[in-house]
A = this chain, B = another copy of it.
Amino acid sequence: MQTRFLLDQAEIPSAWYNALPDLPEPLQPPLHPGTREPAGPDDLAPLFPGALIEQEMATAPWIDVPGEVLDILRLWRPTPLVRARRLEEALGTPARIYYKDESVSPAGSHKPNTAVAQAYYNAREGVTRLTTETGAGQWGSSLAFACAQYGLECKVYMVRASFEQKPYRRVLMETWGAEVVPSPVDDPSHPGSLGSAISDAVRDAATRTDTHYSLGSVLNHVLLHQTVIGLEAKEQLARAGEVRPDVVVGSCGGGSNLGGIALPFLTDPAVRLLAVEPASCPTLTKGAFEYDFGDTAETTPLLPMYTLGHDFVPPSIHAGGLRYHGDAPIISLLVKAGRMDAVAYPQGKTFEAAVQFARCEGKVPAPETGHAIRAVIDEALAAKESGEERVILFNYSGHGLLDLAAYDDFNHGRLVDA
Contact = CB atoms under 8 A, between A and B. Distances in A.
Interface string A104-145: 111010000000000000000000000000000000000001
A308 B99 CA distance: 48
A171 B408 contact: yes
Interface in A48-96: 71, 74-76, 86
B177 A359 contact: yes
Nearest to A5: B9
A4 B70 CA distance: 13
Interface string A1-36: 111101011100000000000000000000000000
A404 B171 CA distance: 6
Interface stretch (A194-202, A324-332, A360-368): A360-368
Nearest to A75: B362
Q: Is the interface of A mostly helix, strand, loop or mixed?
A: helix
Contact of A9 (B2, B9, B355): B2
Nearest to A112: B362
A396 interface: no
Interface in A140-163: 145, 148-149
Nearest to A168: B404
Q: Assembly of this chain: how many copies?
A: 2
Nearest to A71: B1
A33 to B, nearest CB: 36
Interface in A335-376: 355, 358-359, 361-364
Interface residues of A, number: 42
Nearest to A116: B362
A206 B16 CA distance: 60
Contacts of A172: 364, 404, 407
A359 B3 contact: no
A286 B108 CA distance: 39
Interface of A: 1-4, 6, 8-10, 71, 74-76, 86, 104-106, 108, 145, 148-149, 167-168, 171-172, 174-177, 355, 358-359, 361-364, 401-402, 404-405, 407-408, 411
Contact of A411 (B145, B168, B171, B363): B171
Nearest to A361: B75
B401 A362 contact: no
Contacts of A3: 9, 74-75
A362 B106 contact: yes
Given A174-B411, A175-B411, 13 more contacts: A2-B10, A3-B9, A3-B74, A4-B74, A104-B104, A149-B362, A168-B401, A171-B404, A171-B411, A172-B364, A172-B404, A174-B408, A401-B402
B175 A355 contact: yes
A32 B359 CA distance: 38
Contacts of A106: 361-364
A76 B362 contact: yes
Contacts of A168: 401, 404-405
Contacts of A145: 362
Report, nearest first, the 4 A-B pairs whose CB atoms are least far apart.
A106-B362, A171-B404, A171-B408, A168-B404
7 contacts: A3-B74, A145-B362, A171-B408, A171-B411, A175-B355, A175-B364, A402-B404
